[in-house]
Structure 1
Amino acid sequence: MKLRRFGRSAAVLSIAALALTACGGNGDEETTDTASNGGAAASGNLIGGGASSQEAAMTAWTQGANEANPELTVSYDPVGSGSGREGFINGAYSFAGSDAAMDTDEQSQAEAICGPDGVFHVPSYISPVAVAYNLPDFEGENVNMDADTIAAVFAGEITEWNDPQIQDQNDAELPDTAITVVHRSDDSGTTENFTAYLDEAASESWTYGEVEAWPSEITAESAQQTSGVVGLASSTEGAITYADASQIGDLGTVAVGVGEDYVPYSADAAAEAVASAEEDAEAEGAVVLDRATDAAGVYPIVLVSYHIFCHSYQDQATADQVREFGNYIVSEEGQTAAEESAGNAPITDGIRDAAIERLDAISVQG
């Protein structure tokens, strides 16, 4: 098996105690200096939480934002997308990281914190979701699988690596090792993105739909968060899992069938998928991907991870913190820092311009 890495390993974030109510607990902070976006400089501690896929990039973003704004610290708790959105709605976090957009019910609930104008999404982190495996006896560069085969493996219908459906797509000989499927046990935006691909590209083989929680009907192993599934797969010969490509370590990866070719993951191939995405009519700032594409050179299992912000906050200090941090994340400097740390694909100029317009318009309730 050829070992491949995608960016550096994720660093462990230093998480501050969440003793303050994030969306309204910083009202006594002073903001008298001038920020890089022309407004008030941010100070104090900004608290966010959510997608563990962003962990490596978030390390770079929190450090870079602090260097640009020495009085501002950002604490991020990588609890998973679902818990991040829940914490944001409940007021524990001033922003959420999420691998999936808020649904309409969540957006309505968020109005209690954000006011009647609600939330908006910033596509901050674009990365391929790798289908990763632990198969030391395989001598090929990648295992080739089309969408129906990937779906059948994760549905538990294909149980050995040398099953004819897999072997027929590969020149290198596959071992008769049993397949162990490893999935996220927590509600996960990565799961939602992965099953969205299966649902769109292999609907006849995958009958469970697009879900954030792994289907309980499928017998498989599970672990919490990205680091958990990667760790379990890395210690289980024959395992296969799905994870943000920046964190797969030494696991091998599947080249995914797209049209007549098999496409390995890469930042460029993931960016091609997002370039043709449409705007989500039900979630401001979010995008809708064509996961069943047959376009050449496109890697279709793509994670677009968002930062979710309020249009208005309960105090000026929090509004200034969010505005400054959000602008750093989408800046060319911030995107370059994340790319160097996590190997993700930088956002487009169009996404950046739309995000800056929304961030700069953040207001204070009252």
Structure 2
Amino acid sequence: MMNLSVKARASVAVVALTALLGACGTPSVGSLSNSGGSAAASGAAAAKGTLNGSGASSQVNAQQAWRDTFTKNTGIRVNYDSTGSGTGRQQFIAGQVAFAGTDSLLKEDELAKAAERCGSEPLELPLYISPIAVAFNLPGVKELNLDAETIAKIFAGKIATWNDPAIAAQNEGVNLPDLPVIPVNRADDSGTTKNFQQYLAQAAPKEWTAKPSDVWPIKGTQSAEQTSGVIELTKSTEGAVTYADASQVGELGTVKVKVAGEYLAYSPEAAAKIVDGSPLTKDATDRRVTFDLKRDGSVAGAYPIVLVSYLVACTSYPNAGDAANVKSYFEYMASKEGQEVAAKADGGNAPISDSLREKVNAAIALIGK
């Protein structure tokens, strides 16, 4: 299969709303506080300047919505560069950014390096939950039913055409074209790739034997960089199929995944159900609220192809202003208002639950102490 790499990085304009500081001091952040999560008025009152972050492209719409409102209310300029999860983690460890977004957990060696950079264990907090859609470009077809085994075969290159019996048997009455199946994967180091493979490995272990990682394990495939890249390549290629944050698939056709004997469409509610029904990882701490997602398709009503995107930060910074800015921004992202703002702008992600917010806020409270 011919390799096709697309440099279609999601370029997001930097939002830089500058607040005029008069005799009354820093702009009020009162509108950022609510019963669901404080915006840390005490920390934000002293905060000013610029806050830089980078990482997961899945968060790009949410980050734009968060920083629009946050900057407007605080005067703190937030920059978020959607470089991809792996690059974001690397830049955070190197001290190039104050925070990072990542769709996959920090690896053991990354944790050690992040702790060295921060002077203590870093924060790793789940602030963005979204279903991963299996999206395709087939003329006249907007929705398909597929089980995990068939999805795994498609992305492993074991199914050659869209009218294959394995697909047709699950889609009676659908006019499936005799088109080649063209799987499209992420070319960059991607947490979405790892989350998707984790689903395949859990739900279809006989068909997907590769160990899940941020790097796509099959060589010679059609690929593109960033979420926007795989979406654009799939849109422009009849017969293409990809995996991507559901909020960004647009008009592409999508797959209903077999879950507990029924075919289930993705939704924010179904994605959130997986998170609330899954245990924390064995190495989770009061600073690292990390989940071991149950993706095998056994939980009724819970969409199993989910990414939980984390925000990574230090609890202390050489510059006290950076700590105040990070604390204020993280508290806003975790707040009910922040989660609702992101969900409205993103159109596909699920707000975190109140119980999860309590854990997250307890960790954020450690910043600057």
Verify same fold: TM over 0.5: yes
What is the match of residue 226 of structure 1? Answer: 227
What is the match of residue 274 of structure 1? Answer: 275
SS in 2 for 1:39: helix
1:56 aligns with 2:93: no
What is the match of residue 4 of structure 1? Answer: none
Residues 260-318 of structure 1 deviation map (CA, whole Å, 9 limit, x = unaligned):
11111111111111111211222421111100032221110001001011122222101
1:67 aligns with 2:67: no
What is the match of residue 26 of structure 1? Answer: none
1:40 aligns with 2:43: yes
The separation in 2 between residues aligned to 1:110 and 1:132, in whole angstroms, is 35
Residue correspondences, number: 337
Compute the displacement of 1:11 (Å).
8.6
The separation in 2 between residues aligned to 1:160 and 1:303, in whole angstroms, is 28
CA contact (8 A) 1:50 1:84 kept: yes
The separation in 2 between residues aligned to 1:176 and 1:13, in whole angstroms, is 38
Match of 2:310 among 306, 310, 331: 306
Compute the displacement of 1:178 (Å).
0.5
Q: Which amino acid aligns with 2:355?
A: G
SS in 2 for 1:43: coil
SS in 1 for 2:298: coil
SS in 2 for 1:110: helix
CA contact (8 A) 1:50 1:79 kept: yes
CA contact (8 A) 1:279 1:288 kept: yes
Compute the displacement of 1:125 (Å).
0.6
1:257 aligns with 2:258: yes
Tell me how large the CA RMSD over aligned residues is: 1.9
What is the match of residue 162 of structure 1? Answer: 163
Residues 260/216 of structure 1: CA separation in 2 closer, same or farther (3 Å cut): closer
The separation in 2 between residues aligned to 1:320 and 1:311, in whole angstroms, is 10
What is the match of residue 110 of structure 1? Answer: 114
Residues 216/294 of structure 1: CA separation in 2 closer, same or farther (3 Å cut): closer
Moved more, 231-240 or 274-283: 274-283
Compute the displacement of 1:13 (Å).
2.3
1:185 aligns with 2:175: no
Residues 186/76 of structure 1: CA separation in 2 closer, same or farther (3 Å cut): same
What is the match of residue 13 of structure 1? Answer: 12
SS in 1 for 2:360: helix
What is the match of residue 357 of structure 1? Answer: 362
Q: Percent identity?
A: 45
Match of 2:96 among 67, 92, 98: 92
Compute the displacement of 1:328 (Å).
0.4
Match of 1:120 among 123, 128, 145: 123
The separation in 2 between residues aligned to 1:87 and 1:105, in whole angstroms, is 15
Compute the displacement of 1:12 (Å).
4.9
What is the match of residue 147 of structure 2? Answer: 146
The separation in 2 between residues aligned to 1:37 and 1:252, in whole angstroms, is 42
What is the match of residue 210 of structure 2? Answer: 208
Compute the displacement of 1:15 (Å).
3.9
Q: Which amino acid aligns with 1:136?
A: P
Q: Which amino acid aligns with 1:213?
A: V
SS in 2 for 1:279: coil
1:338 aligns with 2:342: yes
The separation in 1 between residues aligned to 2:147 and 2:43, in whole angstroms, is 52
Unaligned segments of structure 1, at least 5 residues: 1-9, 18-30
Residues 114/32 of structure 1: CA separation in 2 closer, same or farther (3 Å cut): farther
SS in 1 for 2:42: coil
Residues 207/169 of structure 1: CA separation in 2 closer, same or farther (3 Å cut): same
CA contact (8 A) 2:27 2:74 kept: no
Unaligned segments of structure 2, at least 5 residues: 1-8, 17-24, 30-38
The separation in 1 between residues aligned to 2:73 and 2:171, in whole angstroms, is 50
The separation in 1 between residues aligned to 2:99 and 2:78, in whole angstroms, is 11
The separation in 1 between residues aligned to 2:317 and 2:90, in whole angstroms, is 17
SS in 1 for 2:175: coil
SS in 2 for 1:64: helix
Residues 78-110 of structure 1 deviation map (CA, whole Å, 9 limit, x = unaligned):
000000000000011110000011011101011
Compute the displacement of 1:16 (Å).
8.6
Residues 121-175 of structure 1 deviation map (CA, whole Å, 9 limit, x = unaligned):
111111000000000133xx51111000000000000010000011100121211
Q: Which amino acid aligns with 2:292?
A: V
The separation in 2 between residues aligned to 1:89 and 1:197, in whole angstroms, is 28
SS in 1 for 2:307: strand
Compute the displacement of 1:32 (Å).
7.4
Compute the displacement of 1:14 (Å).
2.2
Q: Which amino acid aligns with 1:225?
A: Q
CA contact (8 A) 1:142 1:264 kept: no
Residues 60/280 of structure 1: CA separation in 2 closer, same or farther (3 Å cut): same
What is the match of residue 6 of structure 1? Answer: none
CA contact (8 A) 1:132 1:241 kept: yes
What is the match of residue 198 of structure 2? Answer: 196
Q: Which amino acid aligns with 1:328?
A: Y
CA contact (8 A) 1:32 1:40 kept: no
1:83 aligns with 2:87: yes
Q: What's the TM-score once normalised by structure 1's chain length?
A: 0.88
